[in-house]
């Protein structure tokens, strides 16, 4: 999913002004609200927002994504309010509509709608879905407006209502990060910056910043190869995007390729494995920085096609192959690798601000299940590495079970593995502004995503 979009703005006639500033006529709010409710219903049923939005008409998708992000960041509050206002749950499609409306009516100063506009259009959607429910939706929303103070007081008594996160998630953060858990929860509800990675085979960061300035898109350098934009914009406006001059990639994710390559003295054509490559950002960055014989592996053939598309746009070449990283016998040719990147499947707890559905899709049981898969992949790939080679393990997670604890256990199992010290192994990078490994002293510092990095040397 791309960078978060600004919320649509509603005109007096109920139409919406698109967030891209094109000024083109937009559909009535009721259509956007209806599709947003469909997306929220899908997420509550266990489907990702990305999958849900794929079923939304393309002309509505930007606005629906924007509204869905807004709702998902307040879903804990909205659910607690719905339970108090209407203890008996209505049909799922009506409940999803109510949750959207309650989240958008929340008195935090960030709603783009006047109360009466939102209520009127929510009632219109309810009438289209289930005629008999329109009066119920109208009554619940108007009661919320009248009794906001009392509702907010009740909502604050529940953990999801206070934090907009599941209770198990909050408890895990409290255990892992007793000094930072509240900041991490708050960070998850902020809109992330749009960060670009400059293809240094085709130009410098300084030169690209000038191109952005000439195009009226202000930004700043971040890290070694990155640019953070002052305001997100569609990729179609980025100079040279179609030609492969730049890609969208968070500053924390941009650390992977330099960490794996730094100090290795890999010869041209060195054999490198990107073990969980899709959608291809780290694969491409490796090839932008070095001439490698790179195998990009992923278990999902459909997602692997995105790697091919990214490499084609960037004028880079690699071998792509569908395969399970935990079962090398099904794809490995027996030739050892000089270096391996394992960006392992994880809870994605470090990128919730970009994917606000993650917190509602995950379950407490997912953490040990994914940690077991990560351990299986580490043990399966380690024998494929040459003696003297290195493996970079990373996850986009802030949970220690998927980071520090995972690597501590691996080092106990593999006696020929050595963890290189910082800065080669940054460890846990939290999505907070004081993350110096990502922000490189910028003031104000744009927080990178939450990541874990460990660079392992084979003795």
Q: What is the 3-state secondary structure (H, E, C) of the chain?
A: CCCCCCCCEECCCCEEECCCCCCCCCCEHHHHHHHHHHHHHHHHCCCCHHHHHCCCCCCCHHHHHHHHHHHHCCHHHHHHHHHHHCCCCCCHHHHHHHHHHHHHHCCCCCCCCCHHHHHHHHHHHHHHHCHHHHHHHHHHHHHHHHCHHHHHHHHCCCHHHHHCCCHHHHHHHHHHCCCCHHHHHHHHCCCCCCEEEECCCCCCHHHHHHHHHHCCCCEEEECCCEEEECCCCCHHHCCCCCCCCEEECCCCHHHHHHHHHCCCCCCCCEEEEECCCCCCHHHHHHHHHCCEEEEEEECCHHHHHHHHHHHHHHCCCCEEEECCCCCHHHCCCCCCEEEEEEECCCCCCCCCCCCCCHHHHCCCCHHHHHHHHHHHHHHHHHHHEEEEEEEEEEECCCCHHHCHHHHHHHHHHCCCEEECCCCCCCEEECCCCCCHHHHCCCCCCCCCCCEEEEEEEEC
Are 363 and 315 in contact by the 8 Å Cβ rule? The answer is no
- With a CB cutoff of 8 Å and minimum separation 6, the contacts of 178 are none
Q: Rounded distance, CA 246 to CA 353, Å?
A: 23
Are 410 and 418 in contact by the 8 Å Cβ rule? The answer is no
Nearest to 228 by CA among 451, 452, 442: 442
- Per the DSSP assignment, residues forming a β-bridge with 394 are 343, 453
396 catalytically annotated: yes
Are 361 and 43 in contact by the 8 Å Cβ rule? The answer is yes
- Choosing from 56, 233, 394, 396, the catalytic residue is 396
Are 394 and 453 in contact by the 8 Å Cβ rule? The answer is yes
Catalytic residues: 396
């Amino acid at each position: 999913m791309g960078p978060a979009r600004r919320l649509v703005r509603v005109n007096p006639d109920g139409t919406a002004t698109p967030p891209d500033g094109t000024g083109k006529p937009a559909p009535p709010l009721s259509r956007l609200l209806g599709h947003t409710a469909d997306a929220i219903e899908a997420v509550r049923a266990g489907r990702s927002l990305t999958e849900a939005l794929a079923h939304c008409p393309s002309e509505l998708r930007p606005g629906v994504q924007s509204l869905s992000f807004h709702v998902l960041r307040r879903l804990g509050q909205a659910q607690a309010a719905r339970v108090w206002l209407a203890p008996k749950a209505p049909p799922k499609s009506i409940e999803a509509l109510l949750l959207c409306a309650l989240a958008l009516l929340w008195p935090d100063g960030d709603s783009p709608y006047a109360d009466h506009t939102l209520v009127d259009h929510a009632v219109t959607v309810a009438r289209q879905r289930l005629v008999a429910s329109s009066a119920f939706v109208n009554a619940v929303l108007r009661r919320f407006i009248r009794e906001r103070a009392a509702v907010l007081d009740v909502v604050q008594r529940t953990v999801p209502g206070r934090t907009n996160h599941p209770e198990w998630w909050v408890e895990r953060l409290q255990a892992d990060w007793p000094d930072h858990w509240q900041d991490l929860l708050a960070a998850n509800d902020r809109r992330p910056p749009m960060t670009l990675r400059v293809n240094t085979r085709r130009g410098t960061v300084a030169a690209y910043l000038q191109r952005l300035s000439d195009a009226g898109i202000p930004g700043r350098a971040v890290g070694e190869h990155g640019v953070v934009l002052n305001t997100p914009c569609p990729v179609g406006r980025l100079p040279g995007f179609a030609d492969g001059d730049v890609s969208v990639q968070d500053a924390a994710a941009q650390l992977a390729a330099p960490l794996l390559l730094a100090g290795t003295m890999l010869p041209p054509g060195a054999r490198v494995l990107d073990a969980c490559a899709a959608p291809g950002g780290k694969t491409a960055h490796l090839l932008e920085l070095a001439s490698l014989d790179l195998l990009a592996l992923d278990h999902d053939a459909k997602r692997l096609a995105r790697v091919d598309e990214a490499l084609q746009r960037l004028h880079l070449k690699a071998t792509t192959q569908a395969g399970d990283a935990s079962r090398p016998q099904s794809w490995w040719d027996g030739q050892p690798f000089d270096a391996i990147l394992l960006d392992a499947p994880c809870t994605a707890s470090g990128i919730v601000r970009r994917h606000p559905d993650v917190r509602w899709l995950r379950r407490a049981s997912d953490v040990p299940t994914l940690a077991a898969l990560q351990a299986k992949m580490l043990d399966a790939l380690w024998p494929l590495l040459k003696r003297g080679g290195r493996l970079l393990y990373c996850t986009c997670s802030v949970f220690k079970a998927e980071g520090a604890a995972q690597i501590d256990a691996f080092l106990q199992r593999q006696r020929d593995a050595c963890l290189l010290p910082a800065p080669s192994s940054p460890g846990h990078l939290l999505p907070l502004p004081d993350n110096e490994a990502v922000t490189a002293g910028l003031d104000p510092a744009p927080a990178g995503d939450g990541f874990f990095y460990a660079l392992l040397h084979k003795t």
